[in-house]
Structure 1
Amino acid sequence: MTIRVVLADDQEMVRIGFGMILGAEEDIEVVGQAKDGVGAVALIAEARPDVALLDIRMPRMDGLEVCRRVKESVPSTRVVIVTTFGDPDYVDAALANGASGFLLKDSGPSLLVSAVRAAMAGDSLISPEVTVDLLERSRSGRSADPIAAAAVAELTAREREIAERVARGRTNAELAEELFLSLSTVKTHLASIQRRLDARNRVEIAAALWASGAMDG
């Protein structure tokens, strides 16, 4: 099944670049582009794409407000925020407004494609560096959660090693390279970790590790 995507960014070169990256994938089709927030809302309402990639700072309406309106009017469209700014307040607002992902523009082509596919699958993907900052802030000043600690204690040594690296923001490719594993093996371990931690995605794996106190020090 082809994933239909709309791009919204006030920089034409960014739209062109993202369009080329996504258009090269057999399972992704860019069905429209908008250069400002008002145009994005109208385009999404008309095209009803599977996924919308939104910049935050756009003329006439910012991406966070576009996200909020889209989730109200076209709830079937998953929104991924793609921005230059990793400000924690932006991350919090994007997730609160229903975004299915938050990427920095320098995250790279592979993560951009992964974010679109993750959103389509009902999953969430956040840039690794943003994930670490977000989870460190949520962990700061809190005592360890005994339920999370008990769940983490059930991981095998290899699963714990992978989970801790996920909590530090490693991508699948980085995990494979650092641990001398194939990508398929990494994915198998991640699936097992998700089951053990009752986590829906890698963001929740990371949250469990931080909540358990395993990432202290």
Structure 2
Amino acid sequence: MTAPSVRVLVVDDQTLVRHGIRTLLELGGINVVAEAGDGSEALAAIETSAPQVVLLDLRMPKYDGLWLLHKLQEQSCDIPVLVLTTFDDDTLVLDALRAGARGYLLKDVTVDQLAQAVHALANGGTLIAPSITDRLVRAIRASPPPTGAAGLVVERLTEREVEVLRLVAEGYSNRQVAELIHLAEGTVKNHISSILIKLGARDRTNAVLRAIREGILG
């Protein structure tokens, strides 16, 4: 039996780019249910098309990608957002991740890489392009730690929690983490809940960012 295709909303201000992304995704077996030219159109499309993943460009006139991410946060909307853009600004990447994006890819990815990323986010994972990971880590370490957080979390995370968090940082879903370290999926969910509480993080991506900043993940 064929698995149902992931429903995706493509958000980019350039029509030709949107059509190109749609073609790539459909070649990868992804169902593009809607397109939007800016963040405002994307909000409306989310309500009418019920996507499982939002594929988002950051730089758009008027209502840009960060605007949409903040709006989704305000509305407590948990649809995973995969940023697909041209990387030229460390701060922009951090801002997007802190605003709730669960993935960040460059527009030079292959069809397979893009399809895999969409499936990863649809299954609860996170994904950051390897080519920008080093720059991201350096940028996080160079930024000031959150008030009251420095020096407190390392001692509070158990070895198992660090192991789980490392796999989450690599983009694995709860089910995949459970399979890799031979635990029940419910146990993994409990570990992640504990990690979020201990790190004062609102979601998995934010937990990874804080763990990198604290040096927990090396």
TM-score by length of 2: 0.65
- Which residue of structure 2 aligns with residue 119 of structure 1? 121
Letter in 1 for 2:96: A
Aligned to 1:113, what secondary structure does the other structure show?
Answer: helix
1:211 aligns with 2:200: no
Correspondence 1:125-144 to 2 at 5 A: 125-139=127-141
Q: Aligned partners of 2:72 and 2:57: how far apart in 1?
A: 14
| 1:145-196, Cα deviation, whole Å (9 max, x unpaired) | 9769x959xx9xxxxxxx9xxx9x9x9xxxxxxxxxxxxxxx99x935xx9x
- Which residue of structure 2 aligns with residue 57 of structure 1? 59
Which of 13, 16, 31 aligns to 1:10? It is 13
Which of 63, 74, 96 aligns to 1:72? It is 74
- Which residue of structure 2 aligns with residue 19 of structure 1? 22
Percent identity, aligned pairs only, is: 34
Q: 2:90–2:139: 8 Å Cα contact kept in structure 1? A: no
Letter in 2 for 1:211: G
Question: How far did residue 140 of structure 1 move?
Answer: 5.5
Judged with a 3 Å threshold, the aligned counterparts in structure 2 of structure 1 residues 60 and 133 are, in CA distance, closer, same or farther, namely: same
Question: How far did residue 101 of structure 1 move?
Answer: 0.7
Question: How far did residue 90 of structure 1 move?
Answer: 1.1
Judged with a 3 Å threshold, the aligned counterparts in structure 2 of structure 1 residues 95 and 119 are, in CA distance, closer, same or farther, namely: same
Alignment: residue pair count: 185
Q: Aligned partners of 1:138 and 1:39: how far apart in 2?
A: 32
Q: 1:45–1:73: 8 Å Cα contact kept in structure 2? A: no
Q: 1:44–1:70: 8 Å Cα contact kept in structure 2? A: no
Correspondence 1:50-199 to 2 at 5 A: 50-73=52-75, 75-139=77-141, 191-192=180-181
Aligned to 2:215, what secondary structure does the other structure show?
Answer: helix
- Which residue of structure 2 aligns with residue 35 of structure 1? 37
Q: For structure 1, which runs of at least 5 residues remain unmatched after alignment? A: 156-162, 172-186
Letter in 1 for 2:38: D
Q: 2:28–2:111: 8 Å Cα contact kept in structure 1? A: no
Q: For structure 2, which runs of at least 5 residues remain unmatched after alignment? A: 146-150, 182-187, 196-203
Judge which range, 105-114 or 15-24, deviates more: 105-114
Q: 1:6–1:49: 8 Å Cα contact kept in structure 2? A: yes
Q: 2:28–2:112: 8 Å Cα contact kept in structure 1? A: no
Q: Aligned partners of 1:132 and 1:90: how far apart in 2?
A: 15
- Which residue of structure 1 aligns with residue 47 of structure 2? 45
Q: Aligned partners of 2:79 and 2:139: how far apart in 1?
A: 29
Question: How far did residue 86 of structure 1 move?
Answer: 4.0
Aligned to 1:57, what secondary structure does the other structure show?
Answer: coil
Q: 2:84–2:106: 8 Å Cα contact kept in structure 1? A: yes
Q: 2:12–2:38: 8 Å Cα contact kept in structure 1? A: yes
